[in-house]
Chain A
Amino acid sequence: MFLKLNEIGDKIAIAASGGKDSTVLAHIMKLLNERYLNRKIFFHWLLQRYDYGLDLFLLSIDEGISGYRDDSLETVKRNQLEYQLPLKILSYKDLYDWSMDDIVKEIGRKNNCTFCGVFRRQALDRGAVMLGVDQIVTGHNADDIAETVLMNILRGDIARLQRCTFIKTKSEETIPRSKPFKYTYEKEIVMYAYFKKLDYFSTECIYSPNAYRGHARVFLKDLEAIRPSTILDIIHSGEAFETSAESNPTNVTVPGVCNRCGYMSSRDLCKACLLLEGLNRGLPKLGIGNTEKLRKKHLDEKEKSIGEYSSSKRTPGNPFIQNFNDLKLGSDLKKPL
């Protein structure tokens, strides 16, 4: 792309939710990839090969939310047929043995977005490994990123403040992610989808009122009405935040891997495994918020307590999740035992 997000011949997974952003992204990636395939352009003194030559895939995550994700996945499947791109769907149920419906039944509607977000992040990485891609592209647009900057400021989340504005992630441990629509307004995306008559799914997730983002969004739209350049201005402010190593612990921690599942993690147990541990032991608060104490207490107790928690939940200490390193190119999920 213009910003050199990828190299010729890269394998790219498009994170596809069936919503407007990822539908437009899939459409545009496919269109440009074909338009610029093997095109030779006479450029001054040389014939330069000017193409994308990308190998594109659609990657969808099925969180297991009936009445929402099942419908949006139908949209993804229709798009797959239309765009003729290979599609891989990974479900929380297969990956973690818990669908979001199960989780909400267990923990209620509070905090369920934490589970969903952590699980999705890891699920996308797992899917990317299975597909053997070099990169994941997501549909985040300029409005989304400006909202995230505002939210990170309001929450005082210094570590994420600058990171959330990167057009491409910098970490070497995971598969890079990029946001080709970083500078594209939501309005442009919606207009494009409308005029191209793209088929997208537009229902709010039934479990996420996501009030916090909602407030940021309304505030941003009000600002934009006063000053149209606000969105790009806010993104620019986010980019301009320089945080020192001391105030930004993520810069100094040595990245390691999770003992249990092999996923990149700065602690012994990654966030997803911690949340799963909580679910499987009937202690769903285990990974939520500032729970350093809980984490320590319950994990220290773990060895001796195996068996005590068998009340209603799955076997403790014997998590279902497959080790990240066992994932292979083209491999399919280990089926539940």
Chain B
Amino acid sequence: MKINLEFSGGLELLFDGLKQTSVVVEDSSLKNLFKKIESELITQNKELFLKDEKLRPGILVLINESDWELEGQYDYQLKDEDTIVLISTLHGG
């Protein structure tokens, strides 16, 4: 299935400025999606994304425009055409 990804708030800098993309995944949890992003998409500063398989604090996640904290966080099961938005809160004031 296809998952749409968006990066903003400065997080796109880890992806060479890439703001939007999509990936194809097998049935998977959000946790596995993050691992896939880490191993296949990030071009620099991997440690600013995941640490010990946990997302670095300060990165907000929206699953289809809804806060991931309301959607089961890492255990959320992805569906085809889901849109996952990742926003860094740490950049600039």
Contacts and interface: CB of A to CB of B under 8 A. Distances in A.
A139 B93 contact: yes
B30 interface: no
A78 to B, nearest CB: 15
A100 to B, nearest CB: 16
A222 B9 CA distance: 20
A125 interface: no
Contacts of A62: none
A214 to B, nearest CB: 9
Given A194-B87, A203-B91, A20 B57 contact: no
Interface residues of A, number: 30
Contacts, number: 59
A189 B9 CA distance: 12
Contacts of A239: none
Contact of A17 (B8, B13, B89, B93): B93
B32 interface: no
B92 A200 contact: yes
A276 B89 CA distance: 34
Contacts of A203: 10, 13, 91-92
Given A190-B9, A194-B87, A202 B57 contact: no
A194 B8 contact: yes
B60 A19 contact: no
Interface residues of B, number: 18
Contact of A22 (B10, B91, B93): B93
A189 B91 CA distance: 13
B85 interface: yes
Interface in B12-37: 13
Contacts of B87: 190, 194
A225 B57 CA distance: 8
A201 B60 contact: no
Nearest to B85: A194
A218 interface: yes
B36 to A, nearest CB: 23
B88 interface: yes
Nearest to B6: A194
Given A203-B10, A224-B57, A187 B89 contact: yes
Interface in A156-211: 186-187, 189-191, 194-195, 200-205
Interface string A222-242: 101100000000000000000
A144 B90 CA distance: 10
Nearest to B11: A202
B54 to A, nearest CB: 9
A201 B62 CA distance: 20
B92 A190 contact: no
A217 interface: yes
Given A203-B10, A224-B57, A194 B62 contact: yes
Interface string A17-30: 11111100000000
A276 to B, nearest CB: 25
A77 interface: no
A221 interface: yes
B87 to A, nearest CB: 6
Given A20-B9, A194-B60, A202-B9, 13 more contacts: A19-B92, A20-B91, A21-B93, A140-B93, A143-B89, A190-B60, A203-B13, A203-B92, A204-B92, A205-B92, A217-B58, A218-B57, A221-B57
Q: 9 tightest A-B contacts by CB?
A: A221-B57, A19-B92, A202-B10, A202-B91, A190-B89, A19-B93, A21-B93, A202-B92, A186-B89
Interface of B: 8-10, 13, 57-58, 60, 62, 65, 67, 85, 87-93
29 contacts: A17-B92, A17-B93, A19-B91, A19-B92, A19-B93, A20-B89, A20-B91, A20-B92, A139-B93, A143-B89, A144-B93, A189-B89, A190-B87, A194-B9, A194-B60, A194-B62, A194-B85, A202-B8, A202-B9, A202-B10, A202-B92, A203-B10, A203-B13, A204-B10, A204-B91, A205-B92, A218-B57, A224-B57, A225-B57
